[in-house]
């Protein structure tokens, strides 16, 4: 007689152990020891990181991968990973995934741990630049022709080759450049048998990857209400419990710090996306606008399904070129009028070194930039601390020749006895001169990018569907007009009404704004307009401001073009990645009905 008990629903537990190259060494041991994981995944490859890896490999051909993955993350946990049967997926391969695999293989052999390592191949397009240049390929943002000298060029691959490598029996899959969420989606495709046409499931699995791809940002890190997040030193790294229908719960290891709460997960959903109705990935075009996020219990947040459509037929290719050199020097200025003294000091350094270069017959600096840290330089007209009594002078310069910047570096310290009273410094000697690696990007048809993986000395091709999507989001209605917007108005800061998180994509900054109460979104929509945001950031943003509606979480996403002085390694600002722009927007003041103000002040 058949049992009346239903079969248990399969759950796959995936822990996110790295949000970038440089994340904490506590992550992997914490998740392996306390996470009860099926998979441990690592994301290392921010666009800035690719530039760093390109520069590293230019100096030493055996480098070009995230060395922390082998020596810091895997070394202390490798035997335990094997004992528990945890599979590992990482994009630590950077621009030299075979080098990364060789280093991990050597470590495993030294520890006596048998390990089958697969390497995803096909993303490296560096050898094809002449061909692509001859074909008229241009930068997708600026329209510029591809440069003559390229350090690296890598296509953002998807999850299919990762799933195929796992199906072939890999214990560890190492990729080069892939989209951040693919290290999570690949295991889910393998475990649940999702196919390339299962677009809704692929979108939901990609969202799970997006939530954990930045490590502790899903467990309370960077949360607007930071004082509500306990035990920062022992903060838990994120785990997603995923099911075959694409639904998942965000949690963390028991006994760790931080907090998994709806607001922080909603902030992370919005992090570094453009149009939430058309979040374009190699495997699927995602629509996150109707996704719901609900608190299921302590440190458990359930994320509702995403919708998916066919992906576009092209890969995005991220490339880098050497564009000269950069040096940034700093000094601390203490006392009355610290900001004005800091600026005059920086101006004098530029004038002096510019004169030296001219006398030596060297060209002038390509670019220069002055900031007085501590005097709210980034806030521009909204700054309130011009009268600070301590500030850090920062002056950055670019030049085509390294020797010119070595002269600049020598001329920082003499300010300590030559000019402003109260000049001092934290030590550390002369600033270093670094290669200035400039990123650029273009699109390339998937059919022109053969993808494969290598395991046990054998290379196996992976068929990638070309994709027929147009990348356009279906129409979405704006929030309804605010129902009660009359009577006496009271001025509040946005932080009283919303949570926010911001990030970057090249020279674009996005700010996700989530209403603290869903009923407040229409009011916020009427106040936080593209025009108002553009005016508020006019001193930083030199392009248009777009706005997108996410009714599922009562939020909006703001996309600010030309906001980051080129972005990434191109930017000379102290915040080249737009991390502070959400915090700056939360200080913007808006007028609201008194009843709303009273409710907001009771939070």
For the CA atoms of 218, 224, 227, 230, the dihedral, rounded to the nearest 10 degrees, stands at: 0
Residue 598 CB coordination number (10 Å): 11
Residue 305 in contact with residue 202, Cβ under 8 Å? no
Predicted pLDDT at 8 = 66
Token reading at 557: 């996403």
Contact 290, 551 (CB under 8 A): yes
Q: Hey, which residues does 462 pair with through a beta bridge?
A: 451
Residue 7 has what pLDDT? Answer: 52
Q: What is the pLDDT of residue 9?
A: 86
Q: Which two tokens stand for residue 581?
A: 């722009």
- CB contact at 8 A, 180 and 45: yes
* DSSP element (H, E) containing 181: none
Distance CA 347, CA 354 (A): 10
Cα–Cα nearest to 319, from 150, 145, 514: 150
* pLDDT, mean over the chain: 95
Within 13 A of 301's CA, how many CA atoms are on the CB side?
29
Phi, psi of 346 (to 5 degrees): -60, -45
Residues of the chain with pLDDT under 50: 1-4
């Amino acid at each position: 007689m058949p049992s009346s008990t239903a079969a248990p629903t399969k759950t796959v537990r995936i822990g996110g152990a790295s949000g970038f190259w440089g994340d904490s060494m506590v992550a992997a041991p914490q998740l392996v020891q306390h996470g009860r994981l099926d998979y441990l995944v690592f994301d290392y490859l921010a666009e800035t990181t690719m530039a760093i890896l390109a520069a590293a490999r230019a100096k030493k051909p055996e480098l070009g991968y995230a060395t922390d993955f082998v020596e810091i993350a895997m070394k202390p946990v490798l035997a335990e990973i094997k004992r528990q049967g945890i599979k590992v997926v990482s994009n630590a391969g950077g621009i030299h995934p075979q080098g990364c695999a060789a280093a991990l293989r050597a470590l495993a052999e030294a520890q006596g741990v048998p390990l089958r390592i697969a390497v995803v191949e096909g993303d490296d397009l560096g050898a094809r630049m002449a061909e692509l240049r001859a074909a008229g390929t241009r930068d997708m943002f600026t329209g510029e022709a591809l440069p003559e000298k390229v350090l690296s060029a890598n296509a953002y691959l998807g999850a299919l080759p990762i799933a195929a490598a796992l199906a072939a029996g890999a214990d560890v899959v190492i990729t080069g450049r892939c989209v951040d969420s693919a290290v999570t989606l690949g295991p889910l495709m393998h475990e649940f048998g999702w196919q390339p046409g299962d677009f809704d499931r692929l979108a939901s699995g990609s969202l799970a990857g997006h939530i954990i791809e930045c490590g502790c940002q899903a467990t309370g890190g960077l949360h607007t209400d930071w004082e509500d997040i306990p035990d920062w030193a022992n903060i838990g790294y994120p785990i997603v419990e995923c099911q075959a229908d694409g639904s998942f719960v965000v949690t963390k290891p028991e006994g760790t710090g931080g907090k998994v709460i709806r607001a922080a997960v909603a902030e992370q959903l919005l992090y570094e996306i453009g149009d939430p109705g058309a979040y374009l990935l190699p495997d699927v075009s995602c629509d996150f606008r109707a996704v719901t996020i609900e608190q299921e219990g302590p440190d458990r947040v359930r994320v509702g399904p995403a919708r998916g459509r066919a992906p576009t037929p092209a890969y995005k290719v991220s490339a880098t070129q050497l564009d000269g050199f950069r040096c940034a020097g700093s000094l601390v200025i203490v006392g009355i009028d610290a900001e004005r003294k800091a600026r005059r000091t920086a101006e004098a350094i530029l004038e002096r070194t510019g004169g030296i270069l001219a006398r030596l017959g060297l060209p002038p600096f390509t670019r220069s930039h002055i900031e007085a840290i501590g005097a709210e330089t980034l806030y521009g007209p909204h700054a309130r601390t011009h009268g600070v009594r301590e500030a850090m002078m920062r002056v950055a310069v670019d030049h085509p020749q390294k020797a010119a910047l070595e002269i600049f570096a020598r001329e920082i310290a003499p300010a300590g006895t030559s000019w402003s009273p109260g000049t001092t410094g934290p030590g550390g000697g002369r600033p270093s001169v670094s290669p200035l690696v400039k990123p650029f990007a273009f699109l390339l048809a998937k059919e022109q990018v053969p993808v494969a993986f290598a395991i046990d000395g054998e290379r196996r091709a992976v068929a990638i569907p070309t994709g027929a999507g147009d990348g356009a989001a279906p129409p979405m209605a704006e929030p309804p007009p605010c129902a009660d917007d009359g009577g006496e108005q009271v001025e509040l800061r946005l932080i009283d009404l919303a949570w926010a998180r911001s990030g970057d994509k090249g020279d674009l900054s996005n700010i996700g704004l989530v209403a603290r109460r869903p009923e407040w979104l229409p009011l916020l929509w009427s106040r936080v307009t593209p025009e108002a945001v553009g005016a508020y950031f006019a001193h930083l943003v030199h392009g248009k401001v777009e706005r997108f509606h996410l009714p599922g979480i009562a939020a909006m996403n703001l996309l600010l073009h030309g906001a980051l002085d080129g972005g990434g390694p191109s930017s000379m600002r102290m915040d080249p990645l737009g991390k502070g722009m959400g915090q700056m927007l939360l200080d913007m003041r808006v007028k609201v009905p008194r009843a709303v103000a009273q409710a907001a002040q009771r939070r």
